Structure 1
Amino acid sequence: MKKSEPPLLWILAFMTIWAVFPALEPVKGQPPLANGIQPLVQLGQQPVHQLIPLNIRPLLLPQEQEQFLQELEGLPPDWHTLQDPDHTEQSERLFQLNRQRDEARLVHQNILQQPIAFLWSGILRHYLPEYQGFSVALGPELTSTSWGIIRFKPMGLPDYLVAIPSGESARQLLLQQQQGKEIEIGVLFIGTLVADESLIYGFSHDGKEEGMILPVVHIQDVRYFLKTT
């Protein structure tokens, strides 16, 4: 079961992306990173897993994420004992937990170095004629699991995030934008966990204080797909 980000968090996510990439214009003398400029695939009835190479481990579904965490961490933390009305005390407990688990998981180098794939959401923004594609604004996806809420944290995002549809599809998407429709897409990230801080344990800041795990992933590739309506 996926949880939608609160509207405010979406807005903040978009503002952050566009503060870093305000115009997405090519830099003279320096080619853009190719892995952020990709076709916008129409999957139709095919599953998203079709986009993932066989040597990449998919972490799209709750059960896939739970199995991965079990192999890497063993057992989920006792969220109840980590909580405390005193936020200073709670932060100290989380700090100690994260430090202990960072050290313990170093024995699982084969899992830490395994390429993985996960999903974020995107929205098509401005059409860029020089790329014949659309700039992409990003928003995280949250997944409810038996371990807590999983929210992947991508690191090293490409300088340019551009989704390129086919010619006919581009015309249809432009028309939809002119009609005021917001076009959502799926963003498939591929990468490996950051070695020294691969998982971060914490609590959500939405007022519910739910246990949350943030896998920190260095991004190596990006794929875009059009969400079916």
Structure 2
Amino acid sequence: MIALLKRDLALAVRAGGGFGLGLAFFLIVVVLVPFGVGPEAAVLSRIAPGILWVAALLAALLSLDRIFALDFEDGSLPLLATSPLPLEGVALIKGAAHWITTGLPLTLAAPALGFLLNMAPGAYLWLLLSLALGTPALSMIGTFGAALTVGLRRGGLLMSLLVLPLYVPTLIFGAEAVQRGAAGLPATTPLLMVAGITLGCYALLPFAAAAALRVNLR
């Protein structure tokens, strides 16, 4: 499992679909928002939690089609299916590798980009915590979507349509936690909901992704 994780991390960096692309998209969205809604500090501060979460979600979406596509193209995915490591473990490692190369850099960069949107000082800690707890769920849901569409032509568009509705609960509770923190209100409840969604995704979706892979590899 460790060898597979190291391999996926190396492939993500070499293929150009890892943290660099996601961070660049994240930065572009945050920079463009003031041009679209105006430079008023009060407006930017109010919408900052939602904008940062939506930008992080879309940035994570960019590289989802590469999770299984590279292995499918070079023929290593059937070999992984017949290896001693079960497909459930393969899906779990793929999701973890995607989070390390995409979700983790977005989480660490988000507080710095919050300054550009004049985010309230009390919201930074909650933004960091909510993204740290929520982005793993985005990666695992994306792994499931990638498993459903592996081998399909133009599967990236179909995968986006499948995955985006599943992202909505994480987006709602993650942004709500940051908004409550910005207003000085307790944010524990939405944060626990985000953590529960992530735990549920890692408990169930590796099995669903493995089942989808078995069907697509027949």
- Name whichever structure is richer in strand by fraction: 1
The structure with more radius of gyration:
1
- Name whichever structure is richer in helix by fraction: 2
TM-score, structure 2 as length reference: 0.25
